[in-house]
Chains A and B, each alone.
Chain A
Amino acid sequence: MIRSQDALHAPYGGVVPELAARAHLQSLVPVIERALENAGTRWEQVDGVAVTRGPGLIGCLLVGVNLGQAIAWARKLPVIGVSHLAAHVFAALLEEPDLHPPVLGLVVSGGHSDLIRWHTDGSISVIGRTLDDAAGEAFDKGARILGLPFPGGPAIDALAAKGDPRAIRFPRPRAPGLDFSFSGVKTALLYEVRKRTSISEQERADLAASYQEAIVDALLQRVEGALFPSPARGGGSGWGPEPTVVIGGGVARNRRLREAARSRLGNTAHLVIPAPELCTDNAAMIGAAALIEWDRRGPDPAPFDADPALGFA
């Protein structure tokens, strides 16, 4: 059961925190009710509650964390708080239940572009992050420059399908090591748009395709850099003969990213990109994260607060 607020935020060209938190308070219980109903489940059959502790918008996290724990308390159920970011990686288990670490994960969304290593001991460390915009932000900002609606990722994805990704060669990020940087390519797009007095539909599609190509290429370069270390790029080893790579987060719905990842990594790595609906924020991935964390550390022993700055653990 997913309730999207995209329509609510679309007129503003981005998520308005205050609106998001308001909508959460009103819609959360009805959403839970409907999910239980769809699953044909009664409260008596529920064994535990999992809830996102962070990271995210504080107003939204507060609602989820308190409502979830209140339900658990009132029904005397164990409760576990998990990381939304880790859940984007663990979403892969919904498709491959036997998946186990070590795993190289790429989490790309509106708020994050993180390269992580899920270690055999269950812990997760971040080995690359963005120095400026997240990949999803780069798509949103690019869409705005191209006059496309919010959310920008799907809009660019759709338009890019009609364009030539080699029409314009946008710069690739120069961030060192395994980090990302998207501000350069965004500025380059702005420059390309400004230097034209008018833009035909075909040109707009070409710009979208080329911009998307630059972002996708930058993301996959870093994944390859982490898998196949070179003196210049750093990167790690110990992934085993066929390293497992998971790509998750809202941007992992991007068709070009999925396709390019398969062609570039498909032969050397065991690649898992969950179905698009499991890449978008969803509660099933929180469930998957809860199962893994539950095995590792058990339920939370005492009430906990929301943590808007929570990392992967």
Chain B
Amino acid sequence: MRLAIDTSGVDQALVVLDGRRQLAADDWVRDRADPPVLARLDAVVKRAGGKPDDLEAVVAARGPGSFTGLRIGLSLAAGLAYARHIPLYVADSLAILARRASGDPASVALRDAGRREVYAWREGEPARRLPVDELAGWLPATARVIVEPAGGLASWVPGLAHLELPASERRPLSTALLESAIWTFDSQKPLRYDEVQALYVQPAAAEERRRMSP
């Protein structure tokens, strides 16, 4: 039994796999009043007919995304992996988001980063953080763009709204997470526990301070 966790965005998901097959999944929308993610994890593992001892590997989304969500997901994954002595993997959140597109993965994934900034990813490049104003210059003219939250592109760059995949062409996050997990388990190297790190989570001011520091 293998487990995939993505709590990096507004949509969140857990998937339990047996080999490459999905045994159970949980999709939800982030809400402060939610039960702790561990309660969901316990429930989804039970629904999959598994127990903690069956865990063989775990993968968690490492961002970029929500400060709180990333810490929850990565800490849970690290704790599970360490406690059961199983391999621990991380996956890029925007690459997972890109797989929410029906058919082929989207070539560009954007996630709201707050303060008129977006986390931006395109195929073959690492994710970056861009001011909304620079988005028009950065977006390829023929991109298939997937955005969180859906409809975001229309509010950031109204002229390019047509590039965003409509909600009807999006699949549940758990479906994208399942594919990403299989790809990660098959082709990536597990991490050491002291390598676990969230991506791009500092607010710009903290990033600036870090660069300027002695």
Contact = CB atoms under 8 A, between A and B. Distances in A.
Interface string A15-42: 0101101100111111011000000000
B196 interface: yes
A126 interface: no
6 contacts: A12-B209, A21-B67, A21-B71, A25-B198, A26-B196, A70-B80
Which of B37, B68, B79, B196 has the most chain A CB atoms closer than 10 A to its own CB?
B79
Interface string A46-88: 0000000000001100111111111101111000000000000
B36 to A, nearest CB: 4
Interface of B: 35-39, 41-42, 52, 55, 67-68, 71-72, 74-80, 82-84, 193-198, 201-203, 206, 209-210, 213-214
Nearest to B206: A18
Contacts of A304: 36
A12 B214 CA distance: 9
B109 to A, nearest CB: 24
A29 B42 CA distance: 21
Which of B37, B76, B201 has the most chain A CB atoms closer than 10 A to its own CB?
B76
B71 A62 contact: yes
A302 interface: yes
A303 interface: yes
A28 B37 CA distance: 20
A38 B65 CA distance: 37
B206 A70 contact: no
Interface in A129-169: none
A75 B52 contact: yes
A60 to B, nearest CB: 9
Contacts of A22: 197-198
A29 B202 contact: no
Contacts of B193: 26, 29-30, 33
Which of A29, A69, A75 has the most chain B CB atoms closer than 10 A to its own CB?
A29
A305 interface: yes
B71 A73 contact: no
A310 to B, nearest CB: 15
A29 B209 contact: no
Nearest to B36: A303
Interface in A262-313: 302-305
Given A16-B209, A63-B75, A303-B36, 17 more contacts: A16-B206, A25-B196, A25-B197, A26-B196, A26-B197, A29-B193, A32-B82, A33-B193, A59-B67, A59-B71, A62-B72, A64-B75, A67-B78, A68-B79, A71-B79, A75-B52, A76-B52
Nearest to B45: A73
A121 B39 CA distance: 31
A63 B71 contact: yes
A235 B30 CA distance: 46
Contacts of A67: 75-76, 78-79
Contacts of B206: 16, 18-19
A19 B201 CA distance: 11
Given A29-B82, A74-B83, A11 B71 contact: no
A16 B75 CA distance: 20
Contacts of A303: 35-36, 38-39, 42
A272 B41 CA distance: 43
Nearest to B67: A59
Contacts of B74: 25
A12 B80 contact: no
A43 B68 CA distance: 29
A27 B194 CA distance: 6
A74 B39 contact: no
Contacts of B42: 73, 303
Given A25-B196, A62-B75, A66-B75, A11 B83 contact: no
A33 B35 CA distance: 29
Contact of B78 (A21, A43, A70, A305): A70
A21 B197 CA distance: 10
Contact of A69 (B38, B197, B198): B38
B122 to A, nearest CB: 26
Contacts of B68: 58, 62
B79 A25 contact: no
A73 B79 CA distance: 9
